[in-house]
């Protein structure tokens, strides 16, 4: 019997009416001849509520108990979904992570998959059950404790099950009807993509597009799991949504597929750092140990007088999430106090945003950077930092120009049209 994995996010199961709506979509796939593994998130807002209760109870909480509490939201949804399906005369059973079992590492709140044995679910399908409803976001450690995978972990759970059970496809149901060329709330001409390559989706997810969780795309790309993103609130068929697939499955694509943005960025500059071997490691080592997620990095010759610094000096600029600025500042100041690094000043700009263009077509087409920079210049947008990869160009700009920049780039690359 062919198998399909269907994942429903928090907004898709926000109340009993929406759970029933999702169950009807599952029943439709069963009627088409599929066995179905359904992965569910907690009902919308429930995880935040549970996290709040933990923090109020114990500000310095035990991570093992944190996982025990916050994973309970998915358990409730799984049970309600199974009951709803049973009322529709669809043979269904709910499964918590430890019952499958979903075996993970012991890193609480950020566990990673080790193994998903098939035996228990396969046995139930063999008995005549058509649907296994599995609580997403959770697993069990080698010590037998409940673990969670980090926010957005239900997407990763769905892809992991699709890989483990060799599913025909993994459908991710959410509150949008697919992946767009950019955020439709910013660019009214944004167009839904029929297909997008894994690499492009991975870049867009990591750059701030919130349609799919980054780890889920990584896993899908590694195991060649076909992902489909579609809306829980619309009637769908085999052509609905956006298919995330291999580059080879896309006949032809535009040079640039999408424009992504992240408004919660900060730019930090170490002024007058000694330009010597090992200085970058001395700077970014403490930042890594402090858990700071460094993104764009630029090193340039300092304009300051070299008199107080024998030999050459440099300025080192990097970006990081704005909520990690305090942690980054402390790590650098501690390193300076210990004598690990020497710098004159630390300049922080928290009024910046990152805007990026992404496309696998960049590999074989020249002029993308020129088009991007001309479009921004034409609208008076100044670039502070530039970073590139094989299929991405990102710039750091003043946050007040972010929406203008997104619209300008969407127009410059004519993303409103398919060809």
Residue 138, CA distances (Å) to 93, 240, 314, 323 in order:
17, 29, 46, 26
Check whether 10 is labelled as a binding-site residue.
Answer: yes
Q: In whole angstroms, give the CA distance from residue 185 to residue 173.
A: 20
Residue 76: both structure tokens together: 């409730």
CB of 127 closer than 8 Å to CB of 91: no
Bridge partner list, 140: 103, 146
DSSP assignment string, 6-60: EEE-GGGGSSHHHHHHHHHHHHHHHHTT-EEEEEEPPPTTHHHHHHHHHHHH-TT
C-alpha closest to that of 3 among 155, 174, 195, 226:
226
DSSP 192: B
Check whether 183 is labelled as a binding-site residue.
Answer: no
DSSP H helices, 129-278, are 153-164, 198-206, 214-223
Residue 365: both structure tokens together: 């087409």
Check whether 74 is labelled as a binding-site residue.
Answer: yes
Check whether 66 is labelled as a binding-site residue.
Answer: no
Check whether 73 is labelled as a binding-site residue.
Answer: no
Check whether 174 is labelled as a binding-site residue.
Answer: yes
As a whole number of angstroms, the longest Cα–Cα distance in the chain is 82
Q: In whole angstroms, give the CA distance from residue 134 to residue 168.
A: 18
CB of 199 closer than 8 Å to CB of 360: yes
Q: In whole angstroms, give the CA distance from residue 109 to residue 65.
A: 10
Q: In whole angstroms, give the CA distance from residue 252 to residue 254.
A: 7
Q: How many CA atoms lie within 13 A of 349 on its CB side?
A: 17
275 burial type by CB count under 10 A (0-12 exposed, 13-18 middle, 19+ buried): middle
Check whether 239 is labelled as a binding-site residue.
Answer: no
Check whether 8 is labelled as a binding-site residue.
Answer: yes
Q: Which residues of 188-218 are buried (b: 16+ CB within 10 A; e: fewer)?
A: eebbebebbbbbbbbbbbbbbbebbbbbbbb
Which residues belong to the annotated binding site? Answer: 7-10, 47, 74, 174-175, 180, 185, 210-211
**Binding residue positions for ATP:** 7-10, 174-175, 180, 185, 210-211
Binding site members for substrate: 47, 74
């Amino acid at each position: 019997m062919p198998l399909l994995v269907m994942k429903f996010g928090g907004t898709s199961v926000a109340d009993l009416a929406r759970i029933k709506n999702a169950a009807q979509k599952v029943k439709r796939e069963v009627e088409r001849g599929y066995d179905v593994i359904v992965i569910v998130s907690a009902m919308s807002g429930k995880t935040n509520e549970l996290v709040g209760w933990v923090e109020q109870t114990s500000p310095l909480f035990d991570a093992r108990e944190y996982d025990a509490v916050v994973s309970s939201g998915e358990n409730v949804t799984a049970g309600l979904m199974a009951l709803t399906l049973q009322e529709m005369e669809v043979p269904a059973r709910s499964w918590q992570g430890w019952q499958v079992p979903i075996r993970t590492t012991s890193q609480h709140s950020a566990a990673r998959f080790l193994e998903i044995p098939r035996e228990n679910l396969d046995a139930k399908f063999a008995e005549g059950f058509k649907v296994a409803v599995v609580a997403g976001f959770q697993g069990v450690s080698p010590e037998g404790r409940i673990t969670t995978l980090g926010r957005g972990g239900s997407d990763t759970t769905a892809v992991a099950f699709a890989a483990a059970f060799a599913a025909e496809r993994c459908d991710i149901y959410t509150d949008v009807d697919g992946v767009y060329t950019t955020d439709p709330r910013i660019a009214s001409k944004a167009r839904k993509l029929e297909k997008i390559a894994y690499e492009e989706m991975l870049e867009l997810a990591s750059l701030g597009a919130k349609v799919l969780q980054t780890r889920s795309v990584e896993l899908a790309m590694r195991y060649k799991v076909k992902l489909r993103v579609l809306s829980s609130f619309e009637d769908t068929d085999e052509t609905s949504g956006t298919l995330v697939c291999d580059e080879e499955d896309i006949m032809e694509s535009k040079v640039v597929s999408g424009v992504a943005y992240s408004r919660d960025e900060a730019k930090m500059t170490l002024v007058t750092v000694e330009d010597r071997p090992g200085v970058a490691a001395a700077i970014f080592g403490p930042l890594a140990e402090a858990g700071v997620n460094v993104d764009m990095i630029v090193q340039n010759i300092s304009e300051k007088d070299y008199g107080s610094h024998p030999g050459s000096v440099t300025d080192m600029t990097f970006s990081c999430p704005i909520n990690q600025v305090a942690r980054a500042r402390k790590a650098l100041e501690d390193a300076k106090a210990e004598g690990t690094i020497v710098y004159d000043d630390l300049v922080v700009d928290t009024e910046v945003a990152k805007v990026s263009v992404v496309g696998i077509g960049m590999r074989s087409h020249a002029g993308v950077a020129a088009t991007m920079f001309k479009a921004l210049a034409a609208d008076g947008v100044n670039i502070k930092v530039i970073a590139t990869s094989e299929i991405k160009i990102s710039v750091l700009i003043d946050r007040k120009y972010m929406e203008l920049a997104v619209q300008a780039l969407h127009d410059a690359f004519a993303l409103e049209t398919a060809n």
